[in-house]
């Protein structure tokens, strides 16, 4: 007796239910479409952080770094000094706390390896682009243009490249070694940086323009705005930018024991904390508005207290006092906050008879920078009354054909990442200009979400499978049930006694690998498929097939259109659509 005999007398079923095409039950079918994360939209440089974090979550650190460098060649810099608008819009903040995206960016640059082979362009173009200024705007433009195949030369007036990154930001915030390394990658890709050459002195703008097809001016603003008060000419009054430059060149200016820094921006913070490290005993920052209006990063302002620096708010300098021909005191007036001015911030209104005196022997003027680039008039560039080059913010173009401008000198927002963004946009505009492409059309294709950021990757490689840049994943679409609550891992900071006197060692450290791993896990990776397999595992009808690392395919013969995959996807990669 065997099973064949049994089949005659009792039900024995071997047929497959696959003869029933249950795909006909419903017309809605899921489709996979990666989308954009709010952090990417918020980042002026449009870094695809969600995708980078997704790669890092799978242990592919080098890949993650490459993704970041697609849009920003200076992750080591931004990972230390950026004001992280990404974190302000991180969806995780609505769940518990924003992801430490900046810390991640830094971690990648510290631990990931750069493979320049992958950035070498497919074809070399014959056109030459000249860039004035090796600050973040110039470097960013150079990087993208070199990747596109153009021959790029940067002309830098100072002895070393980097601009404000090299000569403005202090060592304890941005070690020179990190900057050198990142600029080095750009140079290794073939960008030539000529240092110690100043336009207007060593060659003229006209000459430069003749020698290349396109010019990108990103020379920055290094001039100091004057205080405009009595005694400004006294010895002991130092310009903030000059002060920082001298320190960063290894030739610091003499400072006294009691120093006051006027200003509330990052430059003021840098000056105050630097002067402290140089040994000043009493350091005071004087700012005319309140804490809320200080343009400096909150963490910078917070550092003042930790480092024993006094912050005097709502006070403005009235005049400088002298004794024996030397600076002896700063007379200030208390300020009220009045109606908002053009900057949108409350206007400081002096309070009558509220004078007070701060005994000082040194004043550092960090109230702002102005343009010193007189050469811009040479070829007929339109400039603003304050000497800034007028540009069309869309195209980064000036009134002179073939001349583009960006960064501080073009009046762009004065932060590193914004300069990087400007340089990238200019690179796109320049490439379109040289290749006869429709810039607006490209922009439309590359724009991220509803803001200014653009993605450069799809410009270089249109074939590459990219996400829908227009669709930004809102918090409501994140399936928070898939994420356990967990606190944010901040970067470790040196405790105050370690920071000074006289040490310019980095204050903020990098995340330890275990901490980074936890933080990477916290990221929702909005809109980027991380192959979590939830859709594949949950499908009741075995209608989602997993195709290795390519992703998932829906089997519409059997998919009943229940939509569970779309409803459960932690990060809105799947949506239900019409008939397949």
Partner 1 sequence: MRTLLSGNEAIAEAVRLARVPFVAAYPITPQTPIYEKLSGLENEGRLPGTMMRTESEHSAMAACVAASLTGVRTFTATASQGLALMHEMLHFASGNRVPVVMANVNRVLAVPWAFGSDQTDSLSQRDTGWLQLYCEDGQEALDTVLQAYRIAEQVMLPVMVCIDGFFTSHFIEPLEIPDQAAVDAFLPPPSIPNRFDIQNPAYISNVVSPAQFMRFRQRSFEDMEKARPLIQAVDEEYRQGFGRGYGLVEAVETEDAEIVLVTSGAMTGTARVAVRALRDQGVRVGLLKIKAFRPFPGEEVQAALQGVPKAAVVDRNISIGKEGIFCQELKAALYPLERRPQITGYIAGLCGDDVSPETLEELVRETLRSDQPPPGPIWVRKD
Partner 2 sequence: MQNEYFRSGHMACPGCGMASTIRLVLKALGEKTVVVIIPSCVGVISAAFPNSTLTVPCFHSAFEIAAPTAAGIAQALKIQGDEETTVLALAGDGGTFDIGLQSLSGAADRNENFLYVCLDNEGYMNTGIQSSSATPQGAWTTTTPGGRGGKKKHFMEIIAAHRLPYAATASIAQPLDLMEKIKKAQAVRGTRFIHTLVPCPTGWRMPEDQSARSAMLAVESRIFPLYEIVDGTRYRITHESRGLPVREYLKLQGRFRHLSEEEIGGIQQEVDEEWERLTLLIKGCP
Q: How far is the CB of 18 from partner 1 (least distance, A)?
A: 14
Q: Does 579 bind partner 2 (CB under 8 A)?
A: no
Q: Which stretch binds partner 2 (CB under 8 A): 80-88, 193-201, 295-303, 538-546?
A: 538-546
Q: Which stretch binds partner 2 (CB under 8 A): 186-194, 220-228, 427-435, 541-549?
A: 541-549
Q: Does 94 bind partner 2 (CB under 8 A)?
A: no
Under DSSP, the state recorded for 109 is H
* For partner 2, the closer CB: 390 or 576: 576
* For partner 2, the closer CB: 482 or 512: 482
16 binds, among partner 1, partner 2, none (CB under 5 to 8 A by kind): partner 2
With contact defined as beta carbons under 8 Å apart, do 420 and 135 qualify? no
Q: Which residue has the tokens 């000094």?
A: 81
Among 4, 8, 9, 19, binds partner 2 (CB under 8 A): 19
Q: Which residue has the tokens 């290894």?
A: 250
Residues that bind partner 1 (CB under 8 A): 1-3, 5-6, 8-14
Beta strand pairing call for 362-365 and 258-262 = parallel
Task: Tell me the two tokens of residue 372.
Answer: 């010193």
Q: Does 534 bind partner 2 (CB under 8 A)?
A: yes
Under DSSP, the state recorded for 363 is E
Q: How far is the CB of 481 from partner 2 (least distance, A)?
A: 4
Backbone angles phi, psi at 462, to 5 degrees: -65, -20
Quote the CA–CA distance of 369 and 362 in Å, as a whole number. 19
For residue 263, the SS3 value is: coil
What is the phi-psi region of residue 51: left when phi exceeds 0, alpha when psi lies from -120 to 50, beta otherwise? Answer: alpha
206 binds, among partner 2, partner 1, none (CB under 5 to 8 A by kind): none
* For partner 2, the closer CB: 15 or 385: 15
538 binds, among partner 2, partner 1, none (CB under 5 to 8 A by kind): partner 2
Quote the CA–CA distance of 51 and 67 in Å, as a whole number. 7
Q: How far is the CB of 557 from partner 2 (least distance, A)?
A: 7
DSSP character string of 535-565 = HHHH-TT--EEEETTTEEEE-TTT-----HH
* For partner 1, the closer CB: 12 or 298: 12
Q: How far is the CB of 92 from partner 1 (least distance, A)?
A: 47
Quote the CA–CA distance of 293 and 268 in Å, as a whole number. 14
Q: How far is the CB of 11 from partner 2 (least distance, A)?
A: 5
Among 15, 233, 325, 436, binds partner 2 (CB under 8 A): 15
Cα–Cα separations (whole angstroms), residue 127 to 76, 138, 140, 211, 402: 30, 17, 18, 10, 12
* For partner 2, the closer CB: 30 or 348: 30
Segment 554-573, which members bind partner 2 (CB under 8 A)?
555, 557-558, 560-564, 566-568
Integer-rounded Cα radius of gyration of the chain? 28
What is the phi-psi region of residue 99: left when phi exceeds 0, alpha when psi lies from -120 to 50, beta otherwise? Answer: beta
Among 267, 314, 543, 572, binds partner 2 (CB under 8 A): 543
Quote the CA–CA distance of 574 and 35 in Å, as a whole number. 10
Q: Does 578 bind partner 2 (CB under 8 A)?
A: no
Q: How far is the CB of 559 from partner 2 (least distance, A)?
A: 9
462 binds, among partner 1, partner 2, none (CB under 5 to 8 A by kind): none
Q: Does 25 bind partner 2 (CB under 8 A)?
A: yes
DSSP character string of 216-242 = EE-----EEPP---BTTTSTTEEEHHH
With contact defined as beta carbons under 8 Å apart, do 335 and 314 qualify? yes
* For partner 2, the closer CB: 321 or 538: 538
Q: How far is the CB of 263 from partner 2 (least distance, A)?
A: 46
Q: Does 524 bind partner 2 (CB under 8 A)?
A: no
Q: Does 16 bind partner 2 (CB under 8 A)?
A: yes
Number of shown-chain residues binding partner 2 (CB under 8 A): 40
- Here's the x/- map for partner 2, 454-493, by CB under 8 A: it reads as -------------------------x-xx-xx--------
Q: At what angle do helices 176-188 and 136-148 cross, to 10 degrees?
A: 30
* For partner 2, the closer CB: 16 or 353: 16
Q: How far is the CB of 11 from partner 1 (least distance, A)?
A: 5
* For partner 1, the closer CB: 13 or 353: 13
Q: Does 58 bind partner 2 (CB under 8 A)?
A: no
* For partner 1, the closer CB: 8 or 353: 8
3 binds, among partner 2, partner 1, none (CB under 5 to 8 A by kind): partner 1
Task: Tell me the two tokens of residue 308.
Answer: 């024993």
Residues forming a β-bridge with 329: 321, 359
Q: Which residue has the tokens 């952090």?
A: 39
Quote the CA–CA distance of 159 and 145 in Å, as a whole number. 24
Q: Which stretch binds partner 2 (CB under 8 A): 54-62, 421-429, 457-465, 535-543?
A: 535-543
Task: Tell me the two tokens of residue 513.
Answer: 């690998």
Closest CA to 140 of 396, 360, 378, 524: 396
How many CB atoms neighbour CB 42 within 10 A? 23
Q: Is the dihedral of CA 495, 497, 500, 504 positive or negative?
A: negative
Binding site for partner 2 (CB under 8 A): 11, 13-22, 25-26, 479, 481-482, 484-485, 533-534, 537-543, 546, 555, 557-558, 560-564, 566-568, 576
């Amino acid at each position: 007796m065997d099973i064949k005999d049994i089949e005659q007398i009792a039900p024995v079923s071997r047929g497959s239910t696959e003869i029933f095409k249950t795909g006909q039950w419903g017309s809605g079918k899921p489709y996979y479409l990666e989308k954009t994360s709010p952090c990417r939209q918020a980042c002026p440089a449009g870094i695809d952080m969600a995708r980078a974090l997704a790669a890092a979550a799978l242990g592919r650190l080098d890949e993650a770094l490459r993704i970041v460098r697609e849009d920003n060649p200076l992750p080591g810099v931004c990972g230390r000094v950026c004001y992280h608008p990404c974190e302000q819009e991180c969806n995780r903040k609505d769940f518990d706390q924003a992801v430490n995206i900046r810390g991640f960016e830094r971690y990648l640059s510290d631990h990931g390896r750069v493979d320049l082979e992958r950035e070498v362009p497919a074809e070399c173009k014959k056109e030459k682009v000249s860039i004035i200024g090796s600050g973040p705007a110039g470097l960013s433009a150079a990087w993208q243009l070199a990747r596109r195949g153009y021959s790029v030369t940067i002309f830098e007036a100072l002895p070393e490249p980097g601009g404000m990154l090299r000569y403005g930001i202090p060592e304890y915030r941005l070690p020179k070694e990190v900057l050198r390394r990142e600029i080095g990658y750009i140079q290794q890709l073939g960008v030539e940086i000529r240092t110690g050459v100043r336009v207007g002195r060593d060659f003229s703008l006209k000459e430069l323009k003749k020698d290349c097809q396109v010019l990108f001016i990103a020379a920055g603003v290094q001039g100091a705005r004057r205080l405009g008060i009595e005694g400004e000419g006294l010895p002991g009054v130092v310009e903030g930018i000059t002060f920082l430059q001298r320190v960063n060149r290894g030739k610091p200016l003499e400072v006294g024991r009691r120093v006051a820094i006027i200003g509330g921006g990052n430059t003021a913070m840098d000056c105050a904390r630097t002067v402290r490290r140089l040994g000043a005993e009493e350091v005071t920052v004087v700012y005319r508005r309140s804490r809320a209006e200080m343009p400096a990063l909150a963490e910078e302002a917070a550092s003042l207290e930790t480092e024993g620096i006094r912050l005097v708010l709502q006070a403005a300098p009235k005049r400088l006092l002298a004794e024996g021909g030397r600076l002896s005191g700063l007379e200030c007036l208390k300020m009220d906050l009045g109606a908002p001015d053009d900057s949108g911030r409350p206007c400081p209104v002096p309070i009558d008879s509220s004078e007070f005196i701060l005994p000082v022997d040194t004043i550092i003027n960090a109230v702002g920078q102005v343009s010193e680039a007189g050469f811009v008039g040479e070829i007929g560039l339109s400039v603003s009354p304050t000497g800034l080059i007028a540009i069309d913010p869309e195209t980064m173009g000036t009134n002179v054909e073939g001349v583009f401008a960006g960064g501080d000198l073009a009046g762009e927002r004065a932060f590193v990442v914004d300069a990087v963004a400007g340089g990238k946009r200019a690179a796109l505009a320049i490439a379109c200009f040289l290749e006869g492409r429709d810039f607006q059309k490209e922009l439309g294709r590359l724009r991220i979400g509803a803001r200014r950021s653009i993605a450069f990757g799809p410009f270089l490689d249109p074939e590459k499978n990219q996400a829908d840049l227009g669709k930004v994943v809102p918090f409501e679409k994140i399936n928070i049930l898939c994420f356990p609550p967990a606190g944010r891992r901040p970067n470790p900071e040196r405790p105050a006694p370690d920071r000074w006197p006289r040490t310019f060692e980095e204050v903020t450290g990098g995340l330890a690998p275990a901490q980074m791993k936890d933080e990477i896990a916290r990221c929702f990776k909005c809109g980027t498929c991380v192959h979590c397999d939830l859709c594949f595992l949950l499908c009741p009808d075995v209608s989602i097939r997993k195709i290795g690392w390519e992703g998932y395919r829906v089997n519409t013969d059997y998919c009943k259109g229940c939509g569970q995959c779309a409803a459960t996807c932690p990060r809105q990669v799947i949506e239900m659509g019409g008939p397949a």
